[in-house]
Amino acid sequence: MATAATASATAATRFTLLAGAGLRSRITRLPTAVRFQRQRGLTTTALLKTADLQPKEQGKPETLDYRVFLVDGGGRKVSPWHDVPLRAGDGVFHFVVEIPKESSAKMEVATDEAFTPIKQDTKKGNLRYYPYNINWNYGLLPQTWEDPTSANSEVEGAFGDNDPVDVVEIGERRANVGDVLKVKPLAALAMIDEGELDWKIVAISLDDPKASLVNDVDDVEKHFPGTLTAIRDWFRDYKIPDGKPANKFGLGNKPASKEYALKVIQETNESWEKLVKRNIPAGELSLA
């Protein structure tokens, strides 16, 4: 324990020399090496072993108090949004599951709570459910953010929705809330939800039996025929039973290529970096 503490202090001192005394107060309140590394390197979280991450439940499912936290190998809480590294190497990315396939509870990262746990969304104090099951694992790309102050000239000038980028994972296995999977992006859908741009990155888990067969948008249609249309139609129509209009899609109402999906991921990662550096006001978002 003394060795770890000494190493942590040495790292903090080195960072202070580089960044200036004005950041001392930020360094002293960072409780773990994981969080220090994230604040220092932004997209580098080498001290966090994603294989050791485990979901930890608090409260009972389908209640207002229910939360799913991520904890590291030492049992310490980490943020699924800020602390899980985006990149897993060789064009592979980490994906945090919020909603398992064939379920309807609208689970999402609580972006305004410390450690950003996963909780069930609410409306007027009531738990929210989709009108029907979602047919794919659904969740977020960590260390991404759709900037609500930035208009996208390629997608009808729509502004970001102030959330991490969403992932629709099309593999056969039903994942669990809080699972961290390695995925490769295949396509991107530019959903416009009440005027806000809400990207859907279509991806597949590396452990899926068909993962080696699909590497771009055309492969999805070949090996998962009808899936891209089904995803688009599901997200287009899911609010209609609540009396709301159908969602729209930019980019010609078609899924964009893997190359475009990678562009979206890169741009939203850069937006996240600006957010956690506080170059953009965070508002009610938690950066802890």
pTM of the predicted model, to two decimals? 0.85
pLDDT value of position 48: 86
Q: Is the pLDDT of residue 30 over 90?
A: no
Q: Is the pLDDT of residue 36 over 50?
A: no
pLDDT value of position 78: 97
Q: Which overall architecture, per CATH, does domain 50-277 show?
A: Alpha-Beta Complex (3.90)
Query: CA–CA separation, 137 vs 99, rounded Å?
Result: 6
Strands (E), 63-195: 67-71, 77-78, 87-89, 92-99, 103-105, 107-109, 118-120, 122-123, 126-127, 129-134, 137-141, 151-152, 158-160, 165-169, 180-193
Selected residue with higher pLDDT from 1 and 58: 58
pLDDT value of position 141: 98
* Contact residues for 94 (Cβ-Cβ < 8 A; gap 6+): 50, 84, 85, 86, 87, 88, 141, 142, 180, 181, 182, 183
Q: Which of 102, 64, 56, 106 is nearest to 80 (CA)?
A: 56
Average pLDDT, the chain: 88
Residue 247 tokens, joined:
């969602």
pLDDT value of position 31: 35
Name the strand (E) or helix (H) holding 262: helix 258-276
Query: How do residues 5-26 score in pLDDT, each as one tens digit?
Result: 444 444 444 333 333 433 333 3
The rounded percent of the chain whose pLDDT value lies above 70 is 84
Strand partners, 105: 129
Contact 94/142 with Cβ under 8 angstroms?
yes
154 residue type, one letter? E
Query: How do residues 107-150 score in pLDDT, each as one tens digit?
Result: 999 999 999 999 999 999 999 999 999 999 999 999 999 999 99
Query: How do residues 145-174 score in pLDDT, each as one tens digit?
Result: 999 999 999 999 999 999 999 999 999 999
Q: Which of 130, 138, 238, 260 does the annotation list as catalytic?
A: 130
The rounded percent of the chain whose pLDDT value lies above 90 is 83
Mean pLDDT, residues 74-100: 97
Q: Which of 76, 21, 82, 39 is nearest to 54 (CA)?
A: 76
Query: CA–CA separation, 73 vs 60, rounded Å?
Result: 23
Residue 264 tokens, joined:
């979206």
Q: Is the pLDDT of residue 37 over 80?
A: no
Q: Is the pLDDT of residue 237 over 80?
A: yes
Query: How do residues 188-229 score in pLDDT, each as one tens digit?
Result: 999 999 999 999 999 999 999 999 999 999 999 999 999 999
pLDDT value of position 3: 44
Mean pLDDT, residues 28-48: 43
Q: Is the pLDDT of residue 283 over 90?
A: yes
Q: Which of 242, 245, 217, 246 is nearest to 229 (CA)?
A: 217
- The reply to whether 130 belongs to the active site is yes
